[in-house]
């Protein structure tokens, strides 16, 4: 049964905007259509400028853009930030048992979803207000302020519903994953072929004209990407693809079909890329709110405000953190930056890896991936481990030997890959590359499963559908 906290959201379930789950089987081609339509809507929203903001709005939150699939000065200004942050807060509360929620109970799942929507809309309003109050859009009149706020709030609700449309079974995967993948792809292409600053167009033209040295072109200079970053991007892709294939496979037999054997894969990246999403979202919010407090408090100099000194001091020229917590949870973006402050790089990597490991364990239970839940799913679907009786306990005991260890190890690995990739200046950021490859791999597996289930309906029971 749901705890007292989630029961508070029961009345909201009747008025909260909702996408109904399909009452019939949605065909594979229909899922492709709805997924493509959602992606097109997202891309269009990413190009529609907010009405009422002055031209040439200064970028202040560049490190958040890839993580939150957002685009400066457009309807996707906030991106998926409020949704991810709301989910992060609730999952931490559930994982730490501060609030009670049984995700195997349909009623609890429904209340959890309602609570997630409520906090997503609330955080959309808070972040939209913070953007306006901070002066990011310059001096605005009262009516213009309201119009901008309503645009951001409405766009946030639309993004939430687009994500729900896919997750309810109309599409494939999740909207959040789809938006992140699209944002990372755009970022990589822009850094590679941008006419102004792209590595093989603008930056190469600067080199050929003698306006920058070969060393600058190789290791990066200012706003220009580097050849090392481009090579590191390719290597990072290959490393993550390799890591996705590392797994421990437990042999299984299917009681319903004599002689049918299968394997249950426990991948090294068992909880996928979710830990690094949550860790990055946490760091991004530290960056966002520390800069907001710093700018609204009159940008005090170091030593004038203890709280701001702790949260982070910023460079007034480029709005980049120069000290405090925000400085140490923002990744150095090149080899040059790492060499300039190796202690910062080491602290950032240690914090990132630690949080990825912690979030991996939290998601193990919150996401229904723990040994007990998996054992129940396998037994309920008619599977058993050869040599053991068909019961949850022996299956759970064997899964418990592998899943917790692999989960922690996978969290550490994704943290290291994301952090080190950033240090090498990869295009789209290390976290972005990690997320994109993981999402592409998930979509590949999902497409194969959907196609197999479409061609061989009997496999649906085996696949747990």
Number of other residues whose CB lies within 10 A of the CB of residue 176: 24
- Can you list the residues of the chain whose pLDDT is less than 50? 1, 462-464
In what helix (H) or strand (E) does residue 93 lie, and over which residues does it extend? Answer: helix 81-95
DSSP strand pairing (313-314 vs 321-323): antiparallel
pLDDT digits (tens, 9 = 90+) for 82-102: 888 888 788 777 766 778 777
Q: Which long-range contacts (CB under 8 A, 24 or more apart) does 254-258 make?
A: 254/382, 254/383, 254/462, 255/382, 255/383, 255/384, 255/390, 256/382, 256/461
Structure tokens at 360: 């991996």
Output phi, psi for 263, to 5 deg.
Answer: -140, 140
In what helix (H) or strand (E) does residue 384 lie, and over which residues does it extend? Answer: strand 383-384
In what helix (H) or strand (E) does residue 153 lie, and over which residues does it extend? Answer: helix 142-165
Least Cα distance to 416 among 404, 430, 403 occurs for: 430
Q: Would you state the pLDDT for residue 1?
A: 47
Rounded Cα distance between 431 and 68, Å, is 11
The answer to whether the Cα torsion of 249, 270, 182, 114 is positive or negative is positive
pLDDT digits (tens, 9 = 90+) for 137-179: 766 777 888 999 999 999 999 999 999 999 888 988 888 888 8
CATH class, 1-172 region: mainly alpha
pLDDT digits (tens, 9 = 90+) for 428-451: 888 888 888 888 888 887 887 777
Q: Which residues lie closer than 8 Å to 181 by C-beta, 6 or more apart?
A: 435, 436, 439, 440, 443
Q: Would you state the pLDDT for residue 27?
A: 84
Coil, helix or strand at residue 357? helix
Where are the CATH 1.10.3370.10 domain residues in the chain?
1-172, 194-465
Distance between terminal CA atoms of the chain? Answer: 25
Q: Which long-range contacts (CB under 8 A, 24 or more apart) does 125-131 make?
A: 125/149, 125/153, 127/78, 127/81, 127/82, 127/152, 127/288, 128/78, 128/152, 128/153, 128/156, 130/288, 130/289, 130/292, 131/77, 131/78
Q: Would you state the pLDDT for residue 259?
A: 57
Least Cα distance to 246 among 368, 418, 402, 374 occurs for: 402
- Our measurement of the distance from residue 130's CA atom to the centroid of its chain's CA atoms, rounded to an integer in Å, reads 22
Rounded Cα distance between 243 and 94, Å, is 29
Q: Would you state the pLDDT for residue 221?
A: 65
Domain 194-465 has CATH 1.10.3720.10: no
């Amino acid at each position: 049964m749901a705890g007292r906290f989630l029961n508070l959201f029961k009345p909201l379930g009747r008025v909260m905007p909702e996408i109904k789950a399909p009452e019939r089987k949605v065909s594979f081609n229909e899922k492709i259509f709805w997924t493509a339509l959602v992606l097109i809507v997202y891309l269009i929203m990413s190009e529609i400028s907010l009405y009422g903001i002055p031209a040439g709005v200064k970028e202040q939150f560049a490190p958040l853009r890839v993580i939150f699939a957002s685009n400066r000065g457009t309807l996707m200004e906030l991106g998926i930030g409020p949704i991810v942050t709301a989910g992060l807060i609730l999952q931490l509360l559930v994982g730490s048992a501060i609030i009670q929620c049984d995700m195997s109970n349909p009623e609890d799942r429904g209340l959890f979803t309602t609570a997630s929507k409520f906090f997503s809309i609330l955080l959309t309003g808070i972040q939209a207000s913070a953007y306006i109050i901070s002066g990011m859009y310059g001096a605005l009149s009262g009516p213009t302020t309201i119009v901008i706020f309503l645009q951001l709030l409405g766009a946030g609700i639309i993004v939430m519903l687009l994500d729900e449309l896919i997750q309810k079974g109309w599409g494939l995967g999740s909207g959040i994953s789809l938006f992140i993948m699209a944002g990372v792809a755009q970022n990589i292409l822009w850094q590679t072929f941008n006419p102004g600053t792209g590595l093989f167009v603008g930056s190469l033209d600067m080199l050929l004209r003698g306006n920058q040295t070969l060393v600058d072109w190789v290791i990066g200079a200012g706003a220009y990407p580097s050849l090392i970053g481009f090579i590191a991007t390719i290597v990072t892709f290959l490393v993550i693809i390799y890591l996705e294939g590392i797994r421990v496979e437990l042999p299984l037999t299917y009681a319903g079909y004599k002689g049918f054997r299968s394997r249950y894969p426990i991948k090294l990246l068992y909880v996928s890329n979710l830990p690094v999403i949550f860790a990055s979202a946490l760091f991004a919010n530290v960056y966002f709110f520390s800069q907001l407090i710093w700018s609204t408090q009159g940008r005090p100099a170091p030593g004038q405000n203890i709280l701001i000194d702790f949260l982070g001091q910023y460079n007034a020229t480029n709005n980049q953190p120069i000290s405090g917590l925000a400085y140490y949870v923002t990744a150095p973006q090149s080899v040059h930056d790492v060499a300039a402050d190796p202690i910062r790089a080491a602290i950032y990597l240690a914090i990132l890896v630690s949080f990825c490991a912690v979030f991996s364990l939290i998601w193990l239970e919150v996401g229904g991936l723990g040994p007990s839940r998996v054992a129940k799913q396998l037994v309920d679907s008619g599977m058993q481990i050869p040599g053991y009786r068909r019961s949850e306990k022996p299956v759970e005991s064997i899964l418990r030997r592998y899943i917790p260890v692999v989960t922690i190890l996978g969290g550490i690995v994704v943290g290291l890959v994301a952090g080190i990739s950033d240090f090498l200046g990869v295009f789209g950021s290390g976290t972005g590359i990690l997320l994109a490859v993981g999402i592409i791999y998930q979509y590949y597996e999902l497409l194969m499963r959907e196609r197999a289930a479409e061609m061989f309906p009997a496999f649906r029971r085996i696949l747990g559908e």
